[in-house]
Amino acid sequence: MDIRDCPGPDPHPRKPAMAMPAGACDTHFHVFDAARYPYQATRGYTPPDNGIDVALALHDTLGLSRGVAIQASVHGTDNRAVLDAAAAHPDRLRAIVAVSEGVTEAEIAAMHAQGARGIRVNLVDRGGMPFRSLDALADVAEVLRPFGWHVELLVHVEEMAAELRKIAETMRLPLSVGHIGYTKVAKGGLAHPGYREFLAMLRDGLLWVKLTGLYRISAEPAFPYADTAAMARAVIEAAPDRILWGSDWPHVSHFHGLMPNDGDVLGLLAQWVPEEAARTMILRDNPAKLYGF
């Protein structure tokens, strides 16, 4: 297996060109500290160390007082990195973990006490992630439901729109989708029939969506990834009360193009959402509801 070393993030984040509301949240960042939290042999990349102290310093610079540490595929189902971070900062952080299909209620209860509020199912960049398909979520949903958890999906929505609608309508758990649906502009973006069905699911109240990873879907090599703006505005219009913003820091597996500055990326939200009240909903109110701040 070819395991590539990732470049690091821009070490000099700028303050965004807008004021942040109190309680603003980064709903998607990762924690890497190889000495404390070793990586899976089956991983797809090797990140440089960027531990929780570095992440919190970034948030301080950006004016963010809350965050959600997302389990990275390199850790498989060893959730110590995100759970330790959330447990150490209970007023500031929550965690999204990865579990096996046989996870028990006792295991979920223990992680809930440490600040976890959902599971991540990665069907794209699997690394050590164990889920076989969306259908495998049905039994796990029964274990998660009593705790008020949700499921975060990393999928290309245009490739499985029908399957996604089926699981969203039957699982009776909130579902969030990363990277604005993870449909690349080069594959059609807004024009793709599967993406149009994804927007319909948002309008039907079936999904939450994260404004993350613009460089992962853009055909442009550098900020501001202008070809993604129409997709961002489309999901915001479709479901303003279920939109979340996340940095995707420290931008692992970003091998093509320039590394973005996190403050500049956050500043794009002011262009997409000029109204301060609507931005406050995205940055504070929506994540507070989904993650239980």
- Please count the residues of the chain: 293
Tell me how far CA of residue 287 lies from CA of 151, 192, 237, in angstroms: 14, 28, 17
Spatial distance between the Cα atoms of 145 and 281, rounded to a whole number of angstroms: 25
DSSP-assigned letter for residue 50: B
Spatial distance between the Cα atoms of 145 and 169, rounded to a whole number of angstroms: 15
Spatial distance between the Cα atoms of 169 and 138, rounded to a whole number of angstroms: 12
Q: Is 248 a catalytic residue?
A: yes
| Omega before 250 within 30 of 0, i.e. cis | yes
DSSP-assigned letter for residue 117: E
The active-site residue out of 248, 262, 264, 285 is 248
Give the tokens for residue 112: 């809930």
Catalytic residue positions, numbered: 248
